[in-house]
Structures are given as structure tokens and as C-alpha cells.
Amino acid sequence: MTSDAVARLALPDLTTSTRLVVVVRAPAADDYDGVLETLREAGVRSVELTLTTPGTIERLADLVARYGDEIDLGVGTVVTADQLARAVDAGARYLVTPVTSAALVAQATAAGVPIIPGGLTPTELFSSWSAGASAVKVFPAGQVSPDYVKDLRGPFPGIDVVPSGGVDLAGAETWLRAGAVAVSVGGPLLGDALRGGDRAALRARAEAFVRVCASEH
């Protein structure tokens, strides 16, 4: 129970300690393996697998068994109660939704799985936070500046923010310095890796993000 008397689950330890969530939105779930292995080697310790990738739920239990000791595997783009329940049953370490839904927050909390709901306006973000979200996802982050963290903490002092959408390497550093608890990164880190791109280049980009996020502790 937090000081504002809301039941709020903490984000998983690997996610909070590294402060970097890599969003992998693959064409198919079979495309996860090589990318996950490279991210693991680079030191990435939190990965969001999205439900827009066909087969994500069906593959999740196997991926958690393989990588769960080293990577927090979350499930994103959760928008319905059924999707949330299936992700929890399959072993998701945390959940991410692009919408503001007190019902999804309550369902995730009851299931004992942290959830990060998305929003952009103060009303949307506070609605999720006051419902008990573990953190709130500012999306699309490119529409605001990192100073938005400070602006939000004026009326909402304890709110934990994770920017998502267009966060590049320089942006990751700036958002974390502004007070974000983590950054959510996709294309600027993954590049062409899901289209057959060079894995050594992916590893180098991932290592750069890992270093930047670690340096901003």
C-alpha cells in the first residue's frame, strides 16, 4: 500500500534496475528468438512483446522458460480483459496497454501482475495512476518534451512515468535525467533487425542504450 492508499504493484526488478524496456513488434512470433538472444547478450533485461505480433501468447511460456531468469518479458498492446487474462496465464512479468482503463488496471492488480497503461493528457495519466497503475506510459512521447515529467509531478508528485514512441538514444538520456523511471524504446534500437538486419549492429545499438540508461541512475 502506498502513501496515497492505493494498492500499487512494483515493476519487476530487472526492469526498474536497468530502466530500459525494448518493445519488439515482430511480423510473427517465430521472429523473436534471434532478436531476443542478441538483446540478452547486449545486456537488455526487459522486453515488451506485443499482441500485434501473431502467436505472441502461444510462444510466451516457452520464451519465459528460456529467458525469464535474465529478462523480464512483458506483454504489450493489451486492450481487452481476455487478452490480459491470457497474457497473465502465459507468464507475462508485466503488462502494457496503450489505453486508459481503470478496469484493466484493477484486473492486472488482482492478478498480481504490474501494469503500465498509456495516455498523453494529465487527465488520462492521472486516471491510470490513481487507479493503481505501476507506472504510466506517456505515448506518443514525441508529442511532448522530457520537461513533461516535471510538469506532471507538479500536481501529481509521486507519478512514475515511462515515455514511449520515438525515443532515440539522446532522448533516452534526456527523459531519464528529467525523472522518468524507465524509457520504452522500439525502432531507434531495433532498426532493421526484424527484417533480416545485421545482428552485430543490433547488439551495438542495444549496448549503447544499456550504457546510457545505466549512466542516468
Question: Choosing from 137, 173, 207, 216, which is the catalytic residue?
Answer: 137
Q: 202: part of which helix (H) or strand (E)? A: helix 199-215
For residue 118, what is the DSSP state? E
In sequence order, the 6+-apart residues with CB closer than 8 A to the CB of 175 are 141, 146, 149, 163, 167, 183
Tell me the sheet residues that pair with 47: 22, 73
Report the b/e string of 21-55 with b at 16+ CB within 10 A: bbbbbbeebebbeebbebbbebbbbbbbbbbebee
| 150 catalytic per annotation | no
| 216 catalytic per annotation | no
Output the CA torsion sign for 41, 45, 50, 55: positive
Cα–Cα distances in Å, from 65 out to 20, 60, 70?
21, 9, 10
Among 193, 162, 161, CA closest to 20: 162
Question: Choosing from 48, 58, 124, 216, which is the catalytic residue?
Answer: 48
Distance between CA atoms of 61 and 88, rounded to whole angstroms? 10
Burial class (CB in 10 A: 0-12, 13-18, 19+), 110: exposed
Active-site positions read 48, 137
